[in-house]
Structure 1
Amino acid sequence: MHPLNSSLGNFSMMMEVEDTPRDEKLAKVEIALLSVIFVSASILNTGLLLVLWNRRKQVSRMRVFVFHLCIADLVVAFFQVCPQLMWEITDRFIGPDLVCRLVKYLQVVGMFASTYMIVVMTIDRYQAICNPMVKFQRRHARWNIPVCVAWTISLVCGLPQIFIFSRVQVAPGVFDCWADFIQPWGLKTYITWTTLVIFVLPILTVVVCQVQICRAIQVNLYLKTL
């Protein structure tokens, strides 16, 4: 599952006048959709995790990737979809500054982890199909290197969230979890950087690998027909 980053979704809200009443009908639709996404993602990913855990003795490279992909999706569900759902219900972020920064950090970590776990899975399949003579190490620690890389990228690239977002006063006596960007280029830089590293680069990497995989399969089939 890949719901949109709620921090990006809040940018339009930041531009509105603070005392403008929200559209209650739209809010109810958003609450219903977020509830369905949260429940579905939680149940399905937890179920798959239990299945993989029960079959942990039959470990394989792809099962390790899928296991961590499920964990990444659960991070998205519990730290991105769930807080956004609560936010829609209360209309304001309820919690101290530390919770605000932590939630915003984990929201992006989940997005990064879910995205880059797919990237490392694709690169692994590319190596297996396009470079079949490469001898993969069979030790469990070796299998976890791509997974560790994906998690490291996620944890490091999410750090700016801690410094950008904080609990601020948006109206007299009213506090919310908002971003504070350097003017006038901060917001544009943030959106450009997020789009590049979460969407553009991963998509390009996956597309290039998939094209090479398709070519390798096509060549292999052609050689077999000779």
Structure 2
Amino acid sequence: MEADNSTVINPVAPTYLISDYIEIAYLGMVLMLGVPANVVILKKLIKEMKACNRDMVKSGFVMLKINLNITDLLILTYSLGKLIWLITYRWIGGDIACRMYQMFSMFSLYSSSNIVMCIALDRLRNVIYANQIHTKTSKISTVKVLAYGSWLAAFVCSLPQFFLFQTVEVNPNFIQCSDVWQIRRHIKKENEYFPEESFVLTETFENIYNIVHLFLVFWGPLIVLIVTYAVIATKLMKYSLRAPGTQSVRRPMPTAADDSPKDVIVHVNLEDGLLKKDGSFRKVVKCCKEELIPKQHRKKSNRKNGGKDSTTTTSSTSTRVPTWRKQMRSRVFRTTMLVILTHFLFWFPYNALGLMKYINQGMFEVLSANANIFKDLQILITLINPFLYGFSTGN
């Protein structure tokens, strides 16, 4: 869609700035390092996914890491488009490509933010239901529902971009891809989807759209992350304040060589839902609790064992590491925290700048000179994430 000469904004085509050269070099470096690193990690995570097929907790976390890795590759693809745009210094793809690119760029950001939020929600789920069996079933897992929902939400939230951007000829033979509000402020150009008097083209709608976008892409997920980890911290501290979580139960069990019952000590880990017998662990369906053992049963067991107490507390109770500490020390928990913290640190500046426009206009105008730097920080996260969840081993 090209405008005639009467619609030209500026008769002189813009030229490169020093900041443009810096941004070209920066994007080139990120792409050169980020694409190979993320492709290698994607292959590694797919193999890891197959290896932990029966462990729901681990396979769920690996699946979310794969999704996050894919969002990083999408952001790098968007960065490649931006690099080409900077090198040509004009939009050369046509109107449909302009709309698709703006929609895709927003989709990559939404999906990345949503997957980080899913990782936090998955951590919360595993802390709350830590005592349940963690093996796969034929049903669709909660992690898959979260992942599919994240991608669908990202698509829906980014769809308006297709209708709110279009190409415009800012001077003869110099075409750019811009939003409908900028075009309306500087040029009289008919919009394909909205009439001239449409509320969508007003500054009020522009402000509403930008605020909603900021909330959906960053501030809303940030609130979810804060609430989620506040609940996680509360749950883990409650676990640590509970009564001793390990007890020994003496129960008669027959052996293959002798039909007479023999006393076998079975250590019940109340918090982790595991049975420990002769130094090995196996999962159980339900976690035992001390109050669930009736006193009558204990008395009968005492009589059978010559008056000895059949339920004793092992010395490991006093020295056993609390569940909340084990959770905090686990690599899964640390990796989750680092991914979320990195997401916050690198996304906060640009989104804070966007919000500053509606809080302090003067401060926004001062900081907007560095808007590209703040925005490019979001791209740098694609280099850091592989080192957080990919280039390491262990659980």
Greater mean deviation of Cα atoms: 212-221 or 155-164: 212-221
- 1:134–1:109 CA distance, 2 compared to 1 (3 A): farther
Classify 1:136/1:166 alpha carbon distance in 2 versus 1 (closer, same or farther; 3 Å). farther
CA 1:34/1:146 → structure 2, altered by over 3 Å: closer, same or farther?
same
Deviations 1:169-202 (A, max 9, x none): 2223321111103122233222211111001100
Question: Which of residues 191, 212, 216 in structure 1 aligns to 2:231?
Answer: 212
Give the counterpart of 1:30 among 3, 7, 23: 23
| Aligned equivalent of 1:84, options 76, 82, 85 | 82
- What RMSD, in angstroms, separates the aligned Cα atoms of the two structures? 2.3
Residue 221 of structure 1, aligned match among 240, 244, 249? 240
SS in 1 for 2:241: helix
Alignment partner of 1:157 is 2:150: no
Instruction: State how 1:36-51 maps to structure 2 within 5 Å.
Output: 36-51=29-44
Q: Distance in 1 between matches of 2:88 and 2:126?
A: 49
Higher relative contact order (CA 8 A, sep 6+): 1
Shift of 1:23: 4.8
- Structure with a larger share of its residues in helix: 1
Residue in 1 that maps onto 2:192: none
* Inter-CA distance 90–180: structure 2 relative to 1 (3 Å threshold): same
Contact 1:49 1:70 in 2 (8 A): yes
Q: Distance in 2 between matches of 1:124 and 1:204?
A: 16
TM-score by length of 1: 0.84
Note closer, same or farther for the CA distance 1:154–1:19 as it changes in structure 2 (3 Å cut): same
Paired residue for 2:66? 67
Worse-matched range after superposition: 214-223 or 147-156: 214-223
TM-score, scaled to structure 2: 0.49
> 1:131 and 1:46, CA in 2 relative to 1: closer, same or farther beyond 3 A?
same
**1:98 counterpart residue number:** 96
One-letter amino acid matched to 1:64: M
Q: Structure 1 112/135 Cα, relative in aligned 2: closer, same or farther at 3 Å?
A: farther
Asked if structure 2 preserves the Cα contact closer than 8 Å seen for 1:166 and 1:177, the reply is: yes
Query: Is 2:172 the partner of 1:172?
Result: yes
Contact 1:93 1:176 in 2 (8 A): yes
User: What is the one-letter code of the residue matched to 1:82?
Assistant: L
Give the 3-state SS of the residue equivalent to 1:138 in structure 2.
coil
**More displaced, 17-26 or 115-124?**
17-26
Q: Say whether residues 1:56 and 2:55 are aligned partners.
A: no
Q: Give the letter for the 1:76 counterpart.
A: I
Larger Rg: 2
Give 2:212's match in structure 1, choosing from 177, 188, 193.
193
Tell me how far 1:135 sits from its aligned partner. 6.4
1:126 paired with 2:119, answer no
User: Sequence identity of aligned pairs in percent?
Assistant: 21
Aligned CA distance change for structure 1 residues 116 and 36 (closer, same or farther; 3 Å): same
1:147 corresponds to: 147
Runs of at least 5 residues in structure 1 that lack an aligned partner in the other structure: 1-15
Alpha-carbon offset, residue 211 of structure 1: 1.2
1: distance between equivalents of 2:97 and 2:133? 46
- Partner in structure 2 of residue 6 of structure 1: none
- CA distance in 2: counterparts of 1:18 and 1:90, whole angstroms: 18
Counterparts in 2 of 1:175 and 1:215: CA distance versus 1, 3 Å: same
**SS of the residue aligned with 2:91?**
coil
Aligned match of 1:116: 114
Confirm or deny: 8 A CA contact 1:130 1:212 kept in the other structure: no
Q: 2:13·2:171 contact (CA, 8 Å) conserved in 1?
A: no
How far off its partner does 1:20 sit? 6.8
Is the partner of 2:163 in helix, strand or coil? Answer: helix
Gaps of 5+ in 2: 1-8, 54-58, 182-200, 245-317, 323-395
- Equivalent pair of 1:164/1:180 in contact (CA under 8 Å): yes
2:10–2:170 contact (8 Å) kept in structure 1: no
Q: What amino acid is the match of 2:61?
A: M
Amino acid at match of 2:180: D
Amino acid at match of 2:60: R
> Following the alignment from structure 1 to structure 2, what is the Cα–Cα distance between the partners of residues 153 and 136?
28
Q: Work out the CA distance in 1 between the residues paired with 2:158 and 2:82.
A: 18
- Secondary structure, aligned partner of 1:170: strand
